[in-house]
Amino acid sequence: MKKILLFLTLLLVAIVPALRAEQPVDALKGPIDKVIQILEDPQYEDPARKADQREKIRSLTSPMFDFELIAKRATGRYHWENSFTAQQRQEFTDLFAEFLGNNYLTRINGTVKGLKVEYLDEMLDDSGKRAKVRTKVPGSNADVAVEYSMRLRDGKWKIYDVYVEGVSLVQNYQSQFRSLFDKESAAQVIDRLKRKIEEQKHQNETSG
């Protein structure tokens, strides 16, 4: 009996860490650390490898975001529910995800040496399904504060907004889309987004 109890105790000790729920900061730190490694990898200094580098970064960062919620909040609840058809909502979500990814890749184009991210704290709301993770990126002149708003969806923590020095990514696009919807239909907004994506692709290709 003692041997059986000892075996069960050891089994529980081995299982408990594996069953620990993923925390918001875990969902950020792993992919971000890998992105930094890719940015610092000397093989990507070759201009011919830049496209591979961008694709690796895209594959790491895309799963981190709740693009459906980001698209819904960026366009505003009224336009999301009334201006778009169900098919247009899906098309817009996919395009906006691509647009944001391209914009991110353009900003970090090239190799970033010595980039560090410090994770300060994480705060969960009472439901345990929403969280904020505060980080900072030390700079030569000043640190940059970056805060991630996240929600638990299908057992995974996903980003639905990013605040850089207190400025919200979603709110920035809210004002832009609000202005567009004053004079354009949902179909026209989607077409405009497609053109922007083509411009981004051209910019990334010509920049190596």
pLDDT in tens, 157-200: 999 999 999 999 999 999 999 999 999 999 999 999 999 999 98
Is pLDDT larger for residue 206 or for residue 193? 193
Instruction: Give the predicted TM-score (pTM) of the model.
Output: 0.83
Domain that holds residue 39: 2-206
What is the rounded CA–CA span in Å between residue 208 and residue 192? 25
Report whether pLDDT(9) > 70: no
Question: How many domains would you assign to the chain?
Answer: 1
What is d(CA 149, CA 121) in angstroms, rounded to the nearest whole number? 12
Provide the pLDDT confidence category of residue 50 given band limits of 50, 70 and 90: confident
Which CATH number characterizes residue 116's domain?
3.10.450.710
Q: Please give the average per-residue pLDDT across 31-48, as a whole number.
A: 90
Residues in a beta bridge with 122: 133
Write down the pLDDT at residue 13: 43
Tell me the per-residue pLDDT of 72-113, one tens digit each, with 9 for 90 and over: 999 999 999 999 999 999 999 999 999 998 888 777 655 466
- Residues 60-71 pLDDT 10s: 999 999 999 999
CA-wise closest residue to 196 among 93, 100, 57:
100
